[in-house]
Amino acid sequence: MITAPLITAPYPYGDWPEISKNEVAIRRKCARRMPRVRWEEVRAGLLELAGAESIIEQGFIQYCPPDDMHRMTQEALVAAVLVAPGDGATRLAVELEPRLAVHLVDRILGGDGLSETPMGPIEETECGVLLFLGARLLATAQSHYRLATVLTTREALREAIGDDGAMLWSAHVQVGDQGGQVRVWFPKDHLCALALGAHSAQHLARLQLEFSACAGVAQLAQNELRELSAGDVVTLDESWWSKEREHSRIRVRAVGATRTTWWCTLNASESEIRVERVDTSHEISSLTGRRDSQTARKPGEREDAQPRPHIKEGAMDDHSESKTLLRVDDAPIDLAVEVARFKLSLAEVSDLRPGEVLATGRHIGERVTLRAGGQAIATGELVNVEGEIGVRLVEVGA
């Protein structure tokens, strides 16, 4: 929608989190080398041992800078140390929220998991039960890792896996009526020792695909589109950015693709995109702008599901064709607000996982491109329009 001249200001990029180059490198290693987990086997093992159904919700990957473990852990914790296959010196740790650990111990020992247990350091007997549980789950998931010990203090955890930088993969685990957070600590040295994941077929691995990163969609009628000029402000009808920066998202798709979407967040001062999740289902709209009610579709309704007029064969002549063109002059056209366009090889795409950080080749804050049907219509800059995200046009038709 085109608005009248308003007081606008550049979008507040300074409020967005920053990522260091060192974190980018470690995130890439973690996303490409992190072992895959057989979640169905883990759930089956928990059902057999704890006697309750479990729900595992995977979270995001978090970076722990060197010498920062003290800040990111509690004094009393529960962490199982796993030894990698091979030399046996490479270790990682699985940290459980103490309340969840006590709940699991109670269930394995025959309890119902409903009793209130004081939240102090767990006892040696409880550590032994957790060792038994961990060993059984590793065997059920066909993991090559070996369970070494269970630790109860952050000093012991630092001694076991080091404090030279690590990636933390988190998940929320619900067993019966009790839930808690689980974090897997991947020390930097351990990530370097892991082998790369499987790549695509060799003859296709170098095939380049072009990707478009978009902040939202603006919908204009044809007559509005023809009247665009430099200085106009276009507000977004559909935006994946929110006022809370941590909830802001960018939609990334291969050019021409419509089904697979990589939802990402952007770094303020750099030019990287961080992959948060991959969605292969139909997109659910999140409208934040204004849209003419006569042209809007209901959420989930396909465009081709709209009623279509019946046209008799041979009924259109030159005169009626002119009238028809006038009637569709206000037909809506979607303009994608593209913040970056970049290329990835097929091998890189096949390895993409949540936590991967990709370079876009464009610093955030540079001009965005308005595209209709893949064709560039105009360029502009993102602005804040009375709490809504808009694009102030700089050049039209270039």
Asked if residue 75 has pLDDT above 60, the reply is: yes
* Residue from 380, 377, 378 nearest 368 by CA: 380
CATH number 3.40.30.10 is the correct assignment for the domain at 35-193: no
- Which pLDDT value is given to residue 288? 37
173 CB-near residues (< 8 Å, 6+ apart): 54, 55, 56, 57, 100, 179, 180, 181, 182
Domain positions in the chain are: 2-19+202-294+329-396, 35-193
Q: What is the pLDDT of residue 370?
A: 92
Residue 101 to residue 179: CA distance in whole angstroms: 10
Q: Residue 328 has what pLDDT?
A: 55
d(Cα 212, Cα 370) in Å, to the nearest integer? Answer: 12
Question: Closest Cα partner for 387 from 84, 95, 73, 12?
Answer: 12
Q: Under a CB-based contact definition with an 8 Å cutoff, are residues 289 and 238 in contact?
A: yes
> Residue 279 carries which DSSP code?
E
Q: In a 3-state reduction of DSSP, which class is residue 17? A: coil
Which residues have C-beta within 8 Å of that of residue 118, sequence separation ≥ 6?
none
Q: What is the pLDDT of residue 175?
A: 92
For residues 227-251, average pLDDT: 80
Closest Cα to residue 371, out of 342, 344, 340?
340
Higher pLDDT, 28 or 99: 99
Q: What share of the chain is helix, strand, coil (3-state, %, to 5)?
A: 25, 35, 40
What percent of the chain clears pLDDT 70, i.e. is strictly above it? 72
User: What pLDDT is recorded for position 182?
Assistant: 93
In degrees and rounded to multiples of 5, residue 142 shows phi and psi of: 55, 40
Among 47-56, 66-75, 82-91, 291-300, the least confident range:
291-300
Q: Which of 157, 197, 191, 246 is nearest to 23 (CA)?
A: 191
Per residue in 344-354, pLDDT tens? 888 788 777 88
Average pLDDT of 124-131?
91
Q: Give dist(CA 352, CA 361) in Å, integer.
A: 18
150-159, 249-258, 271-280: lowest mean pLDDT where?
A: 271-280
Tens digit of each residue's pLDDT (9 = 90 or more) over 265-318? 876 556 787 888 888 764 444 433 333 333 333 334 444 444 443 434 444 455
Q: Tally the residues of the chain.
A: 398
pTM of the prediction?
0.53
pLDDT for the residue numbered 11: 66
CB neighbourhood size of 109 (10 A): 10
> Is there a contact between 168 and 183 (Cβ–Cβ < 8 Å)?
yes
**At CA 325, angle to CA 323 and CA 328, rounded to 5?**
110
Average predicted confidence (pLDDT) for the chain: 77
More confident residue, 87 or 375: 375
Q: What is the pLDDT of residues 101-116, one digit of tens each?
A: 999 998 898 887 666 6
The band of 79, judged by pLDDT with boundaries at 50, 70 and 90, is very high
The first and second tokens of residue 32, run together, are 């490409």
CA 321 → CA 226, 259, 312, 324, 355, distances in Å? 20, 35, 13, 5, 53
pLDDT of residue 310: 41
Position 156 scores a pLDDT of: 92
- Which of these, 47, 23, 130, lies nearest to 82 by C-alpha position? 130
Q: At 394, give phi and psi (nearest 5°).
A: -105, -40
Predicted pLDDT at 82: 92
Question: What is the pLDDT, as a whole number, of residue 363?
Answer: 74
Between CA 122 and CA 101 the distance in angstroms is 9
